[in-house]
Structure 1
Amino acid sequence: MNLPRLNFEKLRGVDGVVCFLRGANYGPLEFPAPRSNPYFAKHERRQSVFYEQIHHLRGQLRKIMPKGRKARVSIVDQAERGIDSLSAQIKSGYKKSSVN
């Protein structure tokens, strides 16, 4: 990482940067294999769960959205139209978005 002004405190404010382990003269930092594997495996598991959730939510969205919906149509607008088409009793459980 190149720090021309050596603003270390600003860099420490970035999520994930806790401290500096080596100076510029030491080359890249390497972790021994046994120590790095658990961290990498945990990250991989988290990423896998995250992508499974995304895939599941996209699948659910495909089921409820009208077929052939154009990409430029707002999902919020589509959801509000769907809620508006429900009966008054069911509709009372939903709030309209105040995004606009």
Structure 2
Amino acid sequence: MHEKTLGRPERDPFDALIDVLAAADRYDLALGTIPIAFVIALVAAAAFGVPAPYALAGAAIVGVGTVVDVCYLNPPIDQGSTGGTEERSFAD
């Protein structure tokens, strides 16, 4: 049985994937590196006989470094923000 969504034209799933990947910004890609680091660590632990805690510690260091980078070193900036540099006056 084939379902057809009402009100939407048929769209190729590959085109939808390309649109989603094109809309990804630096922070989306940075957050994607964290689980990829853990997967690589587990594969390396299994393939090369590295103890799992050591491999996971390496992945955790990559994850912490990524979070520090995107949250503290290069945080996202609101497009409407002025950075808080203007003088503010408060009325009594």
Higher RCO structure, 1 or 2 (CA under 8 Å, sep 6+): 2
Tell me which structure has the larger Cα radius of gyration. 1
TM-score (norm 2): 0.29
TM-score (norm 1): 0.27
Q: Which structure shows the bigger proportion of residues in helix conformation?
A: 2
